[in-house]
């Protein structure tokens, strides 16, 4: 389980680190120090309260019960307890060695906060020399030679240029990839996180930088194949915290690949029991709204399209997207936003995916969408609604309208498949059902549901295909061909397809009958009539 979660998160994931205490009535903040400097990587735990994992600013924030007796600070194997009984102060700093610097002192001491333009105008020779040497070595990818000059700029001239931070991350990524031990890799990861923090401090753009920071955190922290389940959880929570804040700050300006990472970790943390179903749904809605805004601005945005597909897949397989959660979430939203076509469209897609199209909310939404914009998708939802209401004739009319109006090939593929299933189940029109299943396959040859449907159509056709028992049994060769294709096309159909293939092999002609008809095993055979398919002879 640990390996599966870690690897899936490498594609992109994140989790909140704070677990809200049931009786939390007090919020305590502060800074943790080691050797006089803010300490990263410290787990801060409040008695009867919550946990927090410090970043490079050393700051923490926990919730505690009013009766909490202590705060525990753990760094690697070093654990300290601070007694807070009777201490009503809600700002509590702590140092492992007792050295807490005076507020406002030291951090920017000896630092020149001028811009590169100001420094060059003032002929600051140290700055100009280091900038020139670091830039030249960096350009040649001689990062080890660039490092001492870069470090001087990073330490002494932190506001000179943002390239210090952009290039710094790139250099340390290079060092990290070449490192041979995990201890060395972790040192470089820590430095990258420090670079991101200082970039935020001196150049702001906090939302954007936190997104990059969180993504790199997961990308490299999860390289550790020996990570323990507890450490893994900490990594998830800390990264989730950064990405969550990034998305809140950036809003519609969020980079869409970061949204995918955020949703993937949300999913994994939900599976670990760390996030509620409601939070997963809420995060999905947030990400989906941002991507919809990007696509509205630029309908040809390929990154947004790919990210939306990925997010849909993650949410659909999260286990949180059930009818109860979706209907509960969307009902009050629909009451407020029923005139927003994009919202209604998104809601109906989610309800459709979760199989909630029998709910009153789906019916209301389908009618509203058709009224707002009688598009192909709106007609498709109306078809589903009338089918569930037991009116197949009206359902058929709307299916036909949906297929006529739709231009989106991915949607049209599904309409063709569903109408094929309708013609098979409702009207028993086997040739017509196959015709529409083939249309779905023309768009996507690996549509396993359409392949399965054609197999089912041929099984049904065998009963009345011919008066000759042998000819009837040859139809099962073709049916099994389609079940085998479905099994290979998509893992979603594999088990069902394999089961059907095994079942209908029993209906193949036997060798004696085949020999009597002059058929050699392995040779091509044409199943005639309206089926008109070529298959292989087998017994």
Q: Please, which pLDDT band fits residue 21 given cuts at 50, 70 and 90?
A: very low
75 or 162, greater pLDDT = 162
pLDDT digits (tens, 9 = 90+) for 32-46: 988 778 888 889 999
CA distance 381 to 313: 20
Residue 498: CB partners within 8 Å, gap ≥ 6? 483, 487
Of the candidates 258, 227, 309, the one whose C-alpha atom is nearest the C-alpha of residue 5 is 227
Cβ count near 486 (within 10 Å): 27
CA distance 488 to 369: 37
Domain regions of the chain by residue span: 13-95, 463-536
Q: What is the mean pLDDT of residues 221-250?
A: 90
Task: Kindly tell me the number of DSSP H helices and DSSP E strands found in the chain.
Answer: 22, 10
Beta-bridged to residue 59, according to DSSP, are 31
Q: What is the mean pLDDT of residues 341-352?
A: 87
CATH fold, domain 13-95, is Immunoglobulin-like (2.60.40)
DSSP calls for 351-405? HHHTT-TTSHHHHHHHHHHHHH---HHHHHHHHHHHHHTT-HHHHHHHHHHHHHH
Cβ atoms of residues 227 and 6 within 8 Å: yes
Q: What is the mean pLDDT of residues 346-353?
A: 86
Q: Please, which pLDDT band fits residue 105 given cuts at 50, 70 and 90?
A: very low
| pTM beyond 0.85, yes or no | no
H, E, C per residue of 98-141: CCCCCCCCCCCCCCCCCCHHHHHHCCCHHHHHHHHHHHHHHHCC
CA distance 144 to 162: 20
Cβ count near 420 (within 10 Å): 26
pLDDT digits (tens, 9 = 90+) for 403-444: 999 999 999 999 999 999 999 999 999 999 999 999 999 999
Backbone phi and psi for residue 81, each to the nearest 5 degrees, phi listed first: -115, 135
- Let me know if 331 is exposed, middle or buried by CB neighbors in 10 A (0-12, 13-18, 19+): middle
pLDDT digits (tens, 9 = 90+) for 75-89: 877 888 888 887 888
Average pLDDT of the chain, as a whole number: 88
DSSP 91: B
């Amino acid at each position: 389980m640990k390996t599966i979660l870690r690897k899936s998160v490498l594609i992109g994931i994140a989790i909140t680190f704070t677990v809200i205490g049931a009786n939390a009535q007090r919020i305590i903040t502060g800074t943790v120090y080691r050797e006089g400097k803010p300490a990263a990587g410290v787990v801060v735990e409040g008695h009867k309260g919550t946990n927090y994992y410090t970043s490079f600013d050393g700051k923490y924030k926990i919730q505690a019960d009013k009766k909490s007796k202590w705060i525990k600070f753990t760094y690697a194997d070093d654990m300290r307890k601070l007694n807070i009984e009777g201490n009503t102060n809600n700002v509590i700093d702590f140092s492992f060695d007792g050295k807490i610097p005076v507020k406002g002192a030291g951090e920017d001491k000896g630092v020149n906060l001028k811009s590169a333009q100001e420094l060059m105008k003032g002929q600051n020779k140290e700055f100009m020399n280091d900038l020139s040497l670091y830039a030249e070595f960096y350009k040649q990818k001689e990062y080890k030679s660039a490092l001492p000059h870069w470090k001087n700029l990073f330490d002494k001239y932190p506001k000179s240029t943002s390239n210090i931070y952009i290039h710094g991350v790139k250099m340390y990524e290079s060092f990290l990839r070449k490192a041979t031990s995990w201890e060395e890799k972790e040192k470089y990861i820590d430095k990258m996180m420090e670079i991101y923090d200082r970039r935020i401090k001196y150049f702001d753009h906090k939302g954007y930088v936190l997104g990059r920071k969180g993504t790199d955190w997961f990308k490299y922290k999860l390289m550790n194949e020996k990570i323990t389940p507890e450490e893994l959880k900490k990594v998830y929570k800390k990264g989730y915290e950064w990405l969550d804040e990034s998305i809140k700050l950036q809003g519609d300006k969020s980079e869409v690949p970061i949204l995918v990472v955020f949703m993937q970790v949300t999913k994994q943390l939900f599976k670990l029991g760390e996030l509620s179903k409601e939070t997963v749904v809420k995060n999905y809605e947030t990400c989906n709204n941002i991507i919809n805004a990007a696509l509205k601005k630029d309908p040809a945005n390929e990154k947004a399209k790919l990210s939306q597909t990925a997010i849909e897949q993650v949410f659909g397989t999260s286990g949180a997207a059930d009818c109860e959660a979706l209907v509960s979430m969307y009902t009050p939203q629909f009451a407020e936003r029923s005139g927003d076509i994009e919202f209604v469209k998104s809601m109906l897609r989610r309800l459709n995916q979760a199989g909630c199209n029998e709910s009153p909310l789906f019916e209301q939404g389908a009618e509203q969408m058709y009224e707002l914009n009688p598009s192909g998708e709106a007609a498709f939802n109306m078809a589903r609604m009338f089918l569930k209401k037991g009116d197949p004739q009206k359902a058929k009319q709307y299916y036909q309208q949906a297929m006529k109006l739709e231009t989106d090939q991915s949607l049209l593929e599904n309409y063709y498949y569903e109408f094929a299933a309708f013609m098979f189940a409702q009207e028993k029109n086997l040739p017509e059902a196959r015709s529409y299943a083939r249309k779905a396959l023309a768009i996507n040859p690996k549509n396993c549901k359409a392949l399965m449907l054609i197999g089912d159509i041929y099984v049904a056709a065998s009963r009345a295909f011919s008066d000759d028992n042998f000819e009837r049994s040859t139809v099962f060769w073709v049916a099994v061909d389609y079940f085998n294709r479905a099994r290979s096309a998509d893992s979603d159909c594999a088990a069902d397809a394999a089961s059907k293939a095994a079942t209908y092999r029993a209906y193949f002609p036997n060798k004696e009958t085949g020999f009597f008809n002059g058929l050699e095993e392995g040779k091509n055979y044409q199943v005639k009539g309206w089926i008109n398919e070529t298959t292989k002879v087998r017994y």
